[in-house]
Amino acid sequence: MKKTYLGVAMAAVLVAMAPVAPALAAAAGAAAGAAAGAAAGAALTIAAADATRLKTWITAQKTASVAAPAGFTVAVGSTVPSAITLRPIAVTPVVTTVDPMKYQYAVIGAKVVLVQVSDRKIVYVFQ
């Protein structure tokens, strides 16, 4: 008897969810698209106070600026040439908003940039 009630209850839930299923699938597809965009080197959002702390930390490392190669423009989405060395971001109490496993930094033509390690795309240019 309990199995029958359970079966009927599950059927009722499935019937009630039928109109919602396409919306759920669309939402899942949108979330997957957003994740793919982020993985493809989309811009990184950092709060102003965190950006200031991170830039101060990077500046304190006294990393020498390298000249931008001919034809290279420092901008979000640009791929950093392999000739430019990326520097690791240390895990410190000051640097908590940027995952050091995913991002490194470089100083190119006096501009400090964060670079996604996986594809060497610039994700943030400090002002």
Lowest mean pLDDT among 30-34, 64-68, 100-104: 30-34
What is the mean pLDDT of the segment spanning 59-78? 94
Tokens at 111, concatenated: 């501009």
Q: 């990326």: which residue's tokens?
A: 86
H or E, element range at 111: strand 111-116
What is the chain's mean pLDDT, rounded? Answer: 76
The CA distance from 124 to 48, in Å, is 12
Reported pTM? 0.65
Confidence of residue 2 (pLDDT cuts 50, 70, 90): low
Percent of the chain with pLDDT over 70: 67
Share of the chain above pLDDT 90, in %: 50
